[in-house]
Amino acid sequence: MSILDEVRSGKEDIVEYAEECMQKAKGIDREYRYFTAIAEESAIGQAREIKKNFQKYRGKRLLGVMVSAKDAICVKGVESCAGSRILKGYRPLFDATVIERVKREGGIVIGKTSQDEFGFGSFSVNVGLGFPIPLNPFDRGRSCGGSSGGAAGLARKADFPHIALGESTGGSIAAPSSFCGVFGLTPTYGKVSRYGLIDYGNSLDKIGSIGKSVEEVALLQGTIEGHDPKDSTSLSHPHEGYKELKRNVKGMRIGVIKEAFSDAVEKDVQKGVRSGIARLEEEGAVVEEVSLEFPIRYSLATYYLLAMSESSTNLARYCGMRYGQAGELKGNFNEYFSEVRSKHFGEEAKRRIILGTFARMSGFRDAYYIKAAKVRTLIIRHYRKAFGKYDALASPSTPLLPPKFTDIEKLTPLQHYMIDVPVVGPNLAGLPHLNVPVGMEKGLPVGMLLIGDHLQERKLLEMGMVFDGE
C-alpha cells in the first residue's frame, strides 16, 4: 500500500503527511528555486480541515495529493505576483476557480511556482526583478523552459504525490514539460475557467496540468475543467473526467508535420521525436507525413502581434494607482505612472508593452493587429482541414535540448521568440496539445508534441499512455 493509499484510508495522519511533504518541497526549493511562495501555513490548515471532516473528503479525486500553482493563478491569502515585482505583496482575497475545484476534491495547495514575468518568455529567465530563476532538474546549469518553468521542474523533482497547475499562452506548458521530461497537457481554450488567472493574453491563456504520468495529468485535468459562469469564455460541454483511459492507439491516424523537422531543429531532438513516432506506429497507429506550411510559417509573427497587443492592454492597469506598487506622488500623472512602471517592470515586460502598444495604435492597428487577427483565422482553418483526416498531429515540442544559461544570455530577443515555433500554432488555434517525454539524448529529455482537434483531450491522453512509465 502506497503512502497515498494509507492517507486515503485514514491509516496515515494527513496532517503529519502534509508536514512531511512541505519539508520535502522546501528542500527541493533550496536547491532548484521552483517556488515564488511556499504556502506551508495554508497547506497545513487545509490538511487539518480534511482531517476534521474526513468522511466528507473520503473518495475525493485528489485526496492527499499536493498541488502547486503557477504564480499567475490566484490562491487566497498566498502572495500571487505572476512573477512580477509590480505585484509584490498582493495576496488575493479569493481562490481562482481551478484552486476552488482542487480544494473541493481534497487536493492540498502547497505554493506558487516560478515563471517568466507575466508569462513573457520561453526559458524562465525573464523572471521579475528580485525573483530567482528556476533550474533544470537534470542539470542546474540549464533552463527549465518557460514560462511555467517552476511548475514543470517541481513536477519532475517532487518525490511525494504531486501534480502542478501550469498555464499556457503560446507554449508555456509544452516547452517546460519538454525541458523537464514530464507530461504537460494544454487543454482546448475555454475548457478550463480563467477566473482568477492574472492575464497575459485573454484570447490565448489556458490553465493546464503537468505531471510525471498521464494518469496524474488526467486526474488534475478532470478536476479543474468544466463550465464556469464567472468566466465569459468558459465553454459549456459535458464534464469529461477522463476515467478508464485506455492505452489503445490502434487505427488512429497521426499526421507528422513535415515543416516541424527543418534544419532549425537540433538533430538530437529530431532523433528522439522520430523514435516516439515509431513507437506509436508499433502500437498500431497509422502515421503519415502532412504539410502545414502556412501555420508553421506565419504563426510566430501572428502570435506575437496578438499576444503583445493583449498584454499591453492588460498591463496598463498596473500603474501604481488602483493596482500594482505605488510610488511617490509627484509631477503629473504620466510622470508618476512612468516612474512606477519603469521601476518595477522587467526588461522583457517593457519590451512587450511598447511593441503591443505600437501594434494597436491608431494608424497602425489595421496594418498589424487586425491583419494578424485575420491570419489567425486562416491558421485555424488549416488545422481544421488537417483534422478532417487525422486524429492527431505530431511534432517536436521544442527545437532544441534544454540550453545552458550561458548560451541563453547570448540570444537576441528574436532568437528567444523563435523557440516557440512548434507550439504557437496550436495555441493560436485554441487546440489541445500534450507534451510526451520520448526519451533522453545526451542525458537531457526530449519532448514530442501531440496536437488534437478541439475537445479531443481524451485521444491525446490515450496516445500519451503509450509512453507512460518509461
- Catalytic site residues? 70, 147, 172
Exposure pattern of 343-379 as b/e (b: 16+ CB <10 Å)?
A: ebbbebbeebbebbbbbbeeeeeeebbeebeebbeeb
As a whole number of angstroms, the longest Cα–Cα distance in the chain is: 70
Amino acid at site 137: P
Please say whether the beta carbons of 327 and 320 come within 8 A: yes
Name the DSSP letter for residue 138.
S
* Grid cell in block for residue 202: 485573454
- In whole angstroms, what is the distance from residue 212 CA to residue 235 CA? 28
Amino acid at site 436: V
- In whole angstroms, what is the distance from residue 440 CA to residue 437 CA? 8
452 three-state secondary structure: strand
Name the DSSP letter for residue 394.
E
For 292, residues 6+ apart whose C-beta sits below 8 A from its C-beta are: 257, 258, 259, 260, 382, 383, 386, 393, 425
48 three-state secondary structure: helix
Please say whether the beta carbons of 426 and 380 come within 8 A: no
Place of cell 473526467: 241
- The separation between the first and the last C-alpha atoms of the chain, rounded to the nearest angstrom, is 22
- In whole angstroms, what is the distance from residue 252 CA to residue 340 CA? 54
Nearest to 196 by CA among 108, 117, 97: 97
Name the DSSP letter for residue 235.
-
Could you tell me the strand order of the sheet in which 162-168 lies? 35-38, 108-113, 66-70, 162-168, 206-211, 183-186, 433-441, 444-452, 392-396, 253-257, 286-290
Please say whether the beta carbons of 106 and 62 come within 8 A: yes
Count of residues in the chain? 470
- The continuous run of DSSP H or E covering 11 comes out as none
Q: Cβ of 388: how many Cβ atoms within 10 Å?
A: 8
How many helices, marked H, and strands, marked E, lie in the chain?
A: 17, 11
